[in-house]
Chain A
Amino acid sequence: MLDSLTAALRELLPHDAVITDPVRLRTYECDGLTYHRATPGVVVLPESAEQIAGVVRLCNETGVPFVARGSGTGLSGGALPREDGVLIVTSKMRRILEIDLPNRRAVVEPGVTNLAITEAVRDQGFYYAPDPSSQQVCSIGGNVAENSGGAHCLKHGFTVNHVEACEVVTPDGDIVVLDRMDPGYDLLGAFVGSEGTLGVATKVTVRLTRVPEAVTTVLAAYGTIEQGGEAVSAIIAAGIVPAAIEMMDALSIEAAEAAVRCAYPSGAGAVLIVELDGPRAEVARQFARLLEICSGAFELRVADDPAERAAIWKGRKSAFAAVGRISPAYIVQDGVVPRTSLPQVLAAIDGLSREHGIRVANVFHAGDGNLHPLVLFDDAEPGAGERAEAVSGAILDLCIRHGGSITGEHGVGVDKAKHMPRMFSADDLDTMQLVRCAFDPRGLSNPGKVFPTPRLCGEVPGVRRGVHPLVESGKAEQF
């Protein structure tokens, strides 16, 4: 099946846009979650929506599944290819098509990187607000698929809050536009965050945000993680909504120090990074309150200019990669708990860590209860990987038990599909799959992701076929 499809793809696309060489295929075998690997059957590098639609239509004719991939930085295996399928890579679609400052929006192709949007409008005093830590390389198409967040989504929201419209190739191969302005169901809201299971975004209209008048970043060092957690609660209780509240524990600080010499206060059991942004007068008042709230910290640093701010963020932004310095292998976890249960959950993670003899470094978006525990292990040690997996899974159980979520921003992908039934009932999942069946009745668009078991869509009983009676009677012809 794949052979005849590949021949058809070569007719459809330019010669160098179809990859079948096994060595080159292997460069696409995983995304940022490297322990799930599969060599794609064939890789295509289309340059337009029409080409993607053509590829998808060919997939439909032959019943071959397809997976879309942006920059491949995802951390849940959402872009894991299929050996029996086509991998559609959007890396050639990197044009910024339109910048419309009076309407505060930009229209971009899916392969454009997150940061490239900000760089294109920064001089005019605007930026694109969602800032996943991979923003230098991650693509906007991937952001749309994953509904990416970032450190600043506490105040500014997620990708879904900043996307105005998407041109989409549906799993049938049609090109449709989903626009917030359109009347009808909010299909755009359903599409963003659907992890490539409802089609492929080929053009994205994003909202641009005015750069705030003032930004102040504070680093507060505490002796214990509990003290840091209390400060977080006090900030929220004071009615302050900072742009970001980040926290790191002693182990992750140690790793960051080893990797990038971030020079965080030595002896800190926890470091809190709080960033305030907005009108200058507002930030000044909030800053005064913040200093009172953080008076229990043993050291406070304040950044008012970009260089000082970058110095404070340096350790935090390097934290994931940095643990490689203190551990041969690690699992990056992503779970969410209600902010107020952070102290109990962190204590429980500590207990799990000691019980299994597995170190856990905690880095988290404390403001919205989004934990990124880094579960450290030595892959040369027999059984260590299994114990690390057990701890990692138990952390998700903790999140569910406290009324949280199994993923705050990395997505379900292939990695967490098996955990979905612990968070959602069979009825919940079946109902979500009704959306899937409406968009993709053949189940060809990124199958095997998000849901633990595929749903057989089948025919809908009692569905009316042909012309709607209202249309027939002339009542609804203008719709």
Chain B
Amino acid sequence: MASRDVLAATGVALRGPGPGDLVGGVTPGVVALPESVEEIAAVLRACAGAGLAVVPAGGGTKLHWGAPPERCDVLLDLCCLNRVLEHAAGDLVVRVQAGVTVDALAATLGGKGQELALDVPFDSGATVGGTLAVGAAGPRSFRYGAARDLLIGVTVVLADGTVAKSGGKVVKNVAGYDLGKLFTGSYGTLGVIAEAAFRLHPLPARRRWLTAELAAGEVTGGLVAALAASQAEPSAVEVDRPAGGRVALAALVEGEAAEERALAVRDLLPGTADGEVGDTAPAWWGLLPGERVLVEARFPPASTAAVLAAAEEAGFALRGSPVSGRTWLTARDSGERELREAVTRLRGRVEGEGGRVTVPASPYEGVDRWGRVGALPLMRRVKERFDPGRVMSPGRFVGGI
């Protein structure tokens, strides 16, 4: 029976796949548009009964991330679950449906002088649910933590249609297991994130960016350590380096005294750098350096210089946070073999520093996307418990999960 026929009985709105619905090049059989948590459950129950594979989608901006699914019978488009359920400003907490876009949420919260301090490096259209599912971090995760640290509650729907929640809408809460952390960064392979609650922060009174240009050799472990431990408390420190060029460094300082604190951060830079303090971010701030080919390196911050050198050697442009030990890398697409070799070379160096290299976006299947994965057998067991029929985004994640 075709996917559409299986789902017809659920009463959930369906449409045929369009060009924007491809998941890593795989065309879904049908697109389902649930409008409630109950409708998500109805779709998943029907799919489980028929053994149909489901891929959840938010704004669809990162459907090319991760490995292509082995099958995609149904694309579960959460665009219709786009309500802010509750903004308790006095509690600095918000509860939203997964399909709310990050931009729409920011607009709602900004009206009350608050924000979700999750500056994900994504295009407009990216949703809260999709952002959680890939678990990517933006510049200010250095100060505020990543998505998993700001998430305080979650409602998920499992492959068999079970609706389950964990956490809640208070920040301090240790009752039960934290399913939110497990689902954050799980690429849709454990179930569907339907609702989420976050802790919020007050919008800072002022923002100042310190920008400077440095020679690559000046970005030493000592400089990175000094910036990270600065009592001026920058919210973020980022570098941008086109393949082989000089390094643009920028630090964001937030608060009423942002200006004088940014000047204090400037004092940490080597004497040759003419740091400037201004109220606008550099043009590259918080953006991904590449789309078609995107690599992520995570590493101990003191190894930044080695990672910069390894990136140059392997021909990658680099952008990201030395103080968090997390950068994006990209290269011109010059073929599968070249990319595979460049990733292998980079990975060897970064793993040698105690780091990890993953490849969120690659047009080629011959590139090992995940590299070394610790505790993979345990991850497989988690997957088998949550999705024994392997119908949730099969094959998208580490180890072919």
Contacts and interface: CB of A to CB of B under 8 A. Distances in A.
Interface of A: 100-104, 125-126, 146-147, 149, 153, 157-158, 160-161, 170, 176-179, 181-187, 189-190, 192-194, 210-213, 233, 236-237, 239-241, 278-279, 281-282, 285-286, 336-340, 365, 368-370, 403-412, 416, 420, 423-425, 427-432, 434-439, 450, 460-464, 468, 470-471, 475-476, 478-479
Interface residues of B, number: 90
Contact of A369 (B172, B190, B325): B172
Dominant secondary structure at the B interface: loop
Nearest to A469: B400
Interface stretch (B55-63, B120-128, B373-381): B373-381
B185 interface: yes
B185 A186 contact: yes
Interface in B87-118: 88, 90-93, 113
Nearest to A105: B300
Interface of B: 88, 90-93, 113, 135, 145, 148-149, 156, 158, 162-166, 168-179, 181-182, 184-186, 190, 201-203, 205, 221-222, 224-225, 228-233, 255-257, 260-261, 264, 298-302, 325, 354-356, 358, 365, 368, 370-376, 378-379, 381-386, 388-390, 395, 397-400
Contacts of A185: 182, 185-186, 190, 379, 382-383, 398
Chain A CB within 10 A, most for which of B186, B264, B378, B381: B378
Contact of B302 (A102, A368, A435): A102
B175 A279 contact: no
A431 B201 contact: no
Given A149-B174, A239-B113, A431-B164, 14 more contacts: A103-B300, A161-B145, A184-B370, A187-B378, A190-B178, A210-B229, A212-B231, A241-B202, A338-B88, A369-B91, A428-B165, A436-B177, A439-B378, A471-B400
Given A176-B374, A479-B376, A428 B176 contact: yes
21 contacts: A102-B221, A102-B224, A103-B300, A103-B301, A160-B178, A160-B181, A183-B373, A184-B375, A184-B397, A184-B399, A185-B190, A189-B181, A281-B260, A282-B255, A420-B176, A431-B158, A432-B166, A464-B390, A468-B400, A471-B400, A476-B399
A184 B182 contact: no
Contacts of B298: 181
Given A103-B300, A193-B178, A282-B261, A179 B232 contact: no
Contact of A178 (B163, B375, B399): B375
Contacts of B358: 183
B301 A182 contact: no
Contacts of A439: 378, 381
A182 B170 CA distance: 29
Contacts of A285: 256-257
Contacts of B202: 239-241
A424 B298 CA distance: 36
Chain A CB within 10 A, most for which of B186, B231, B301: B231
Chain B CB within 10 A, most for which of A403, A416, A425: A403
The 6 closest A-B pairs by CB, nearest first: A189-B181, A239-B202, A281-B257, A431-B164, A213-B231, A470-B400
B181 A190 contact: yes
Contact of B91 (A102, A179, A338, A462): A338
Contacts of B149: 157, 160-161
B368 A435 contact: no
Given A153-B172, A479-B398, A190 B177 contact: yes
A154 B257 CA distance: 22
Given A181-B355, A184-B397, A176 B378 contact: yes
A182 B375 contact: yes
Contact of B169 (A160, A190, A338, A475): A338
Nearest to B368: A478
A475 B184 contact: no
A82 to B, nearest CB: 21
A475 B384 contact: no
A438 B400 contact: no
Contacts of B376: 184, 479
B174 A104 contact: no
Contacts of B184: 186, 189
Given A281-B260, A281-B261, A460 B175 contact: no
A183 B301 contact: no
A279 B400 contact: no
A463 B384 contact: yes
A424 B176 contact: yes
B225 to A, nearest CB: 4
A403 B197 CA distance: 12
